[in-house]
Amino acid sequence: MWDVRARGHFRKEEKTEWGVDPTKEIPSSAATTKYTDFLLATAAGKVDGTKGSDKMVTPFEKTKIAAYIVGAITPCMRLYAYLGKELMAFLKQDENHPYKKWINTYASSDFENNALQIEELLDKLSVSLTGEELEIIGKLYQQAMKLEVEFFSAKLVDQPVVAPLSRYCDPKYKLLIFSDFDLTCTVVDSSAILAEIAILSFQKASQSGIDNNLDRAKSGELRNLWNMLSKQYMEEYEECMERLLPPEESKSLDYDKLYKGLEVLAEFEKAANSRVVDSGVLRGMNLEDIRKAGERLILQGGCKNFFQKIVKTREILNLDIHILSYCWCAELIRSAFSSAGCLDGLNIHANEFAFEESVSTGEIDRKIQSPLDKVEKFKSIRSDADSTVPFLSVYIGDSAGDLLCLLEADIGIVVGSSTSLRRVGRQFGVSFVPLFLGLVEKQRQLMDEDASVFKPRSGVLYTVSSWSEIHAFVLGSDFS
């Protein structure tokens, strides 16, 4: 129904503005055919591997198939409404845009109401369905959205583009992908996980002891010690942030002053690590327990899928992938990515626990402890890249400790909502721009410039709401 109304609205514009004669039949693209075949199969009840049925006797069966059909159509409505609103903001900069009518239609309140109505209808039709049937609707929804993305991606783009990077980078380019680990890839900071393993390891080792009351008391002391170290770290971190900030906000990026300011943070991080080592709280952990904890680490939504895809395509896209982390134990990181099936091809740069017969001694082989250590490692990797091949670097991070690397990269992407990162960045002249808006501006620049539009130390960092945005930017639908 909505498609018929939209086609009627555009019929005049198609011939006059887009050079298309609606009276002539145009063969459907493969992407269009794939989507319509999917809708027809759903309408016939051929879902989730079933053959379907010509007879829908009971009202319940009819309701179920109706719910499946609406579930397959709803993503199209929602996607078009979303795209219309997102693109509407850019019409003000180009009043003569050839797709102005298209954008106005799908950005209208009328179309948004249509999208809401079909979503409400889907909710009503789904009330009487079983859990298994609701799961089928979820799969239909996802498949429909995927087919819609393929539909838009099928259009031949005959001009240079900044996204996805897989198309922007000539095959001769080397793409260097860098990422932080704690709270960039993970939901929980690894230091707390390692401390918990240490406490549980002590309890496990004490179970064979004679005086269980004494063992529990010592275990409690160990937890109290860790809590004290954590509290001290947080209090001193806030004080450190205050000390490194300049009295006035810079109007543009002042990288040298930022570097100087982060020297304060570097000394703080090193001192905090020394306190942890000296406390002995990290002593007595079994290597296998650390590996198991890594396997159970929960990654940020979309992170696992991104690394799985990018590892598989690294040779096709000529890219290197590096993890730069303060994490005390690189084995934890290796286990996390290994369990996700994407360790091969990843280069892990982090600290290492010292072990004796697979039991931690409490010492740390300190390789990366501070923002300065991180950026020096970043520069070292970048300088080691094949000098005969042009390259583009991307750094993904979430904290103030990532700022130098984010700025040194050609493209710095900020995940999460760290207030300290934004506060420090802005004070030293860093701008934070949503990735989508930034790419629109870069696309305009690309049309006017021959050289790369991405440059290090530009003073602009791009913010994203999830790893799915990063995936779309780097790989697009070509490798999804």
Segment 147-166, tens digit of pLDDT: 998 888 877 666 788 889 98
Give the residue with greater pLDDT, 266 vs 2: 266
Residue 1 has pLDDT above 80, yes or no: no
Provide φ and ψ at 3, rounded to 5°: -65, -40
SS3 of 452-468: the string is CCCCCCCCEEEECCCHH
More confident: 477 or 261: 261
Can you give the pLDDT at residue 452?
77
pLDDT at 284: 92
Binned at pLDDT 50, 70 and 90, residue 213 comes out as very low
Mean pLDDT highest for which of 6-10, 21-25, 338-342, 388-392? 338-342
Sign of the Cα torsion 396, 402, 407, 410 reads: negative
- Check residue 461 and give its pLDDT: 98
**Is residue 49 left, alpha or beta, with left meaning phi > 0 and alpha meaning psi from -120 to 50?**
left
Across 46-55, 84-93, 230-239, the highest mean pLDDT is recorded for 230-239
CA distance 151 to 158: 17
Position 3 pLDDT exceeds 60? no
Res 237 pLDDT > 60: yes
- Rounded CA gap, 422 and 428, in Å? 10
Cis peptide bond prior to 164, omega within 30° of 0 = yes
Beta bridge partners of 40: none
Q: In this model, does residue 372 exceed pLDDT 70?
A: yes
Distance (Å, rounded) from C-alpha 138 to C-alpha 109? 26
Which domains can be identified in the chain, with CATH numbers?
2-156 (1.20.910.10), 174-474 (3.40.50.1000)
> Could you give the CA distance from residue 326 to residue 323 in angstroms, rounded to a whole number?
10
Asked if pLDDT for residue 193 goes beyond 90, the answer is: yes
22-36, 310-324, 449-463, range with greatest mean pLDDT: 310-324
Banded pLDDT at 235 (limits 50, 70, 90): very high
- Percent of all residues in the chain with a pLDDT value above 90, rounded to a whole number: 67
In 174-282, DSSP assigns E strands to 174-179
Q: What is the pLDDT of residue 221?
A: 87
Residue 217 has pLDDT above 60, yes or no: no
Quick one: pLDDT at residue 335?
A: 98
Average pLDDT, integer, range 424-450: 90
Mean per-residue pLDDT, 167-181: 87
CA distance 184 to 199: 25
Average pLDDT value for the chain = 88
Instruction: Choose the catalytic residue: 148, 269, 331, 408.
Output: 148
- Specify whether the backbone of 269 is left (phi greater than 0), alpha (psi in -120 to 50) or beta: alpha
148 in active site: yes
Closest residue by Cα to residue 200 from 228, 226, 235: 226
**pLDDT, tens only, 77-101:** 999 999 999 999 888 777 788 888 8
76 as an active site residue: the answer is yes
Higher pLDDT, 467 or 219: 467
Q: pLDDT value at position 446?
A: 87
Catalytic residue among 14, 17, 61, 76: 76
- What pLDDT sits at residue 19? 62
In this structure, of 127-136, 255-264, 382-391, the range with the lowest mean pLDDT score is: 382-391
Given a cut of 70, is residue 28 above it in pLDDT?
Answer: yes
Range in 7-11, 113-117, 452-456 the model is least confident about: 7-11
Residue 214: the pLDDT is 41
* Statement: residue 215 has pLDDT above 60: no
Residue 6 has pLDDT above 50, yes or no: no
For the segment 259-263, the average pLDDT, to the nearest whole number, is: 97
More confident residue, 6 or 72: 72
